[in-house]
Structure 1
Amino acid sequence: MQHSVQLTYDQKHSLSWGKFIGSLLFAYFGTGLISGLFVVLPAIIYTHGLTDKKQIALYESIGNTGNTLLQLLVLLLFIYKFEPIKRLLFPIFNFQVLKKVRTYIYLFLFLGLSILINQFFLASLFPDAPQQQSNALHLETLKQYKILLIIGSAIFIPIFEELIFRGIILQFFQQRFPFWLASIGSSFIFGIAHTYSLGIMVSAFIMGMFMAVLCKKTNSIIPAMLFHMINNTLAFLL
């Protein structure tokens, strides 16, 4: 029988709205600023003046992956060191769910539904959305080195984003609102974060809802991370 994670009074109230907003700003923007100073800025300086497109693509791919990795590491360090966030997220780092068959049933059911919605509904409404996202992310350049693209965008980014959206945001909202309001709110913010096009924002919102429900059904953030990884991998390979 599935049991919901029970939080103590201290766990529920140790993170105020002020700490939540501050933590969220640091997690999303602060980590990017730090990684930008140590990875992106040196990469821009190093590639300045280069004319070989293949070489430029390689350095951009390495820089993109390195930037994402550093952001993730800074976020993990922040979660570990900042006790209110650590207590908020600790209960959902449940790897035991990977031993349960029902976890994979939920995972692949939601993946299948997400693919069907994107292929047969959103693709007809927003046919230019994939190309708009590709242009915004410079995927034509990054796809020249698919291994680096997969490592950065289909492994590091899903973990990073899930820690923020299904981790910090969803868990905080669930402590204060009914689950469906919390899932809609966190998914809406997830959609807003993907401003490449309206179609991508709608797709991200739907995907966020599936991952929120997956977290609820399994009492773990791990299946949502796997969902996100598989989804991104398929998107970049197909």
Structure 2
Amino acid sequence: MTIKRLILSLLTLVVVALVGSSLITSLGQPQITNRLELYQTNLVLLATETSPQTETTETTASADPMDTARSQLQQAVLGDNPLKMALENYQSVRDDAQETLTNFEIRMAESNSAQFSTLVQQQEALLWQLDLRIGLLQAVQGNIDTAQSTWDALLNQLERRTAGRAIAETTTVLQNLWNDPPTVSDNAEATEATVRENLEGWFQSEALTQLYTVAENSTALTALQTQRMAIARSTLFKLAVVGILPTIAAIAGIGLVIFLLVQRFTQGKEALLAVGGQAWETPWEAEIIWQVLIVGFFLIGQVVLPLLLSFLPISLADSTSRVRAFYTLGYYVTMATAGLFILFLSVSSYRPLPKDWFRFQLSGRGLLWGVGGYLAALPLMLGVSIVNQQIWQGQGGSNPLLQIVLEENDPVALGIFLFTAAVAAPVFEELLFRGFLLPSLTRYVPVWGAIVLSGLVFAIAHLSLSEVIPLALLGSVLGIVYVRSRNLLAPMLLHSLWNSITMIGLFILGSGN
């Protein structure tokens, strides 16, 4: 064995240990799926202010066409009983959170790990927030006794818990507001401040409405109702964007997938999905593939850069959102630059490269493959995500950037995160995984095998167990698009569309919370 191979072997052991550790750690991390469901539920609640009311036949007949259209949109988006649906969603998420907490407590007892102790505390805080809001949903629907019982149980849990003091104060405020008769403390301004500080969106508006009603503050109540109506109209549009438009795209994608499958069976090797016999002429051996992946991607991204950045005098936990956004972009651009430099050095001795290597052309065919690939991937990813959720039951981790974006309100920071996800990531990852890895693998395995293997490595590189299956599928779709188009523009566009539309959806969902 040469010195180079020995060094690569040792580095591989280090990388495998680190990647394996990250994947195992992600097993104890919650997914973002439940949080996304709650954010969408919160948007639905904000839009209920304009939910259609029962009207007489005469009123309906004389209604303005715009009002009729809006009512139909509300019915389609909000359903018949949005408050009941919201309560069911919150209780479902609470059940999952309670099960997760139980699992964390068991693992903490078995391992005595500080990591699980932190996870237990985070999960407890989530349950407190859920119970506070579940009680409010129950109270608004007229189930006052049930709401008071929910809040009583929450206060019993928070007794002598310093970390939950703010939740306890807010719970007490809500109990007083929905007492029979309702009461407000002598300092109404302090009560309002507590509500505004610890509740958001619809929950804050409902608590303030009850507060102003009990305090007989008609001026504040009228202003709040006007504000809620305006927010409800804009929220209805947001819900249409995050709900109806993806549904239309998914239906189009289903039709496209059916067409492609039928064509594959009827036209055989002439079909658009036929990928056999299209291998690249690969001049380098497996050692170059090994070197680029281990040194150019995993070692730099997982070892070298984190070590170097640890010496920077920056505490991300205490930094502003813009600093975190620039840090994320800088980290990714640095990793991409270093990785592509290693790739260039590794293949430079084989130049000029054979035909179709790293081919990028601005062409209509490339655009069609990119957009068509996105539409086809959408229903496939939705179906796999449903199965994947059943497998992992809310665990297995998620990309941390998703949670950051979901909770971000600074438009500059959001723009930087969007650029990172929609431009920097697709360019680098498609150059590496589709431009280099997939064609290189065709020297050793059939093209379909190279598509699957490169997709699997692409999925593992994201370091979240729960994302391996859906990302492997997405990576395979990206591979098929590249193999058939022979143009890196196509998978880059597909990748960019997927990331940017996901990010925009998160921006919209987060705006209502």
Instruction: Provide the C-alpha distance between the structure 2 equivalents of 1:180 and 1:206, rounded to a whole number of angstroms.
Output: 13
Aligned to 2:481: 214
The superposition leaves residues 198-233 of structure 1 with CA deviations (integer Å, 9 ceiling, x where unpaired) of x31111111111111111111122211111111122
Describe how 1:1-238 pairs up with structure 2 within 5 A. Answer: 12-13=282-283, 15-32=284-301, 35-36=305-306, 40-41=309-310, 45-48=312-315, 53=318, 55-81=319-345, 82-83=347-348, 84=350, 87=353, 91-99=357-365, 102-104=368-370, 106-118=372-384, 120-126=386-392, 128=394, 132-134=397-399, 137=400, 139-141=402-404, 143=406, 144=408, 145-197=413-465, 199-238=466-505
Q: Give the paired residue count.
A: 224
Amino acid at match of 1:46: P
Alpha-carbon separation, structure 1, partners of 2:474 and 2:421? 16
- Residue-by-residue CA offset, 1:137-188 (whole Å, 9 max, x unaligned): 2543455222121112332122222222212221111122211111121122
Q: Distance in 2 between matches of 1:223 and 1:111?
A: 13
The residue identity in structure 1 corresponding to 2:418 is I
Q: Does the 8 Å contact 2:458/2:475 carry over to 1? A: yes
Q: CA deviation at 1:112?
A: 2.9
The alpha-carbon deviation at position 191 of structure 1 amounts to 2.2
Letter matched to residue 377 of structure 2? L
Inter-partner Cα distance in structure 1 for 2:384 and 2:279: 35
Shift in alpha-carbon separation, 1:62–1:170, aligned structure 2, 3 A: same
Distance 1:153 1:22, change over 3 A: same
Deviations 1:53-87 (A, max 9, x none): 4x343322211111111222223334444414883
Deviations 1:7-42 (A, max 9, x none): 6xxx523x122222112212213443564466x335
Distance 1:160 1:235 in 2: 19
Larger Rg belongs to: 2
Question: Unpaired runs of 5+ in structure 1?
Answer: none
| Counterpart Cα distance in 1 of 2:356 and 2:305 | 25
Gaps of 5+ in 2: 1-269, 506-513
Q: Contact between 2:478 and 2:491, CA under 8 Å: does it hold in 1?
A: yes
Residue type of the alignment partner of 2:448: W
Q: Does the 8 A contact of 2:482 with 2:490 survive in 1?
A: yes
In 2: Cα distance, 1:189 partner to 1:221 partner: 18
Q: In 2, are the aligned partners of 1:133 and 1:200 still within 8 Å (CA)? A: yes
Contact kept in structure 2, 1:88 and 1:171, CA below 8 Å: no
Q: Could you tell me how far apart the structure 1 residues matched to 2:394 and 2:386 are?
A: 14
**Does structure 1 conserve the Cα–Cα contact (< 8 Å) formed by 2:388 and 2:470?**
yes
Q: Is the 8 A contact 1:111 1:231 kept in 2?
A: no
SS in structure 1 at match of 2:464:
coil
CA distance in 2, matches of 1:169, 1:62: 29
Q: CA deviation at 1:193?
A: 1.9
The 3 A distance-change label for structure 1 pair 148 and 119 is same
Residues 71, 227 of structure 1: alpha-carbon distance in 2 compared, 3 angstrom cutoff: same
* Paired residues of 2:332 and 2:424 also in contact (CA < 8 A): yes
Q: Aligned pair in 2 of structure 1 residues 86, 230: CA closer, same or farther (>3 Å)?
A: farther
Question: Residues of 2 paired with 1:102 and 1:75: CA distance?
Answer: 29
CA contact (8 A) 1:94 1:220 kept: yes
Contact 2:437 2:454 in 1 (8 A): yes
Deviation at 1:235, TM superposition (A): 2.5
Alignment partners' CA distance in 1, 2:333 and 2:471 = 22
Q: 1:113 to 1:78 in 2, by over 3 A?
A: same
Aligned 8 A contact 2:373 2:477 in 1: no
Task: Say whether the 8 Å CA contact 1:89–1:168 is kept in structure 2.
Answer: no
Task: Using CA pairs under 8 Å that are at least 6 residues apart, name the structure with larger relative contact order, 1 or 2.
Answer: 1
CA–CA distance in structure 1, aligned partners of residues 449 and 493 of structure 2: 24
User: Is the CA contact 1:95–1:220 (under 8 Å) kept in the aligned structure 2?
Assistant: yes
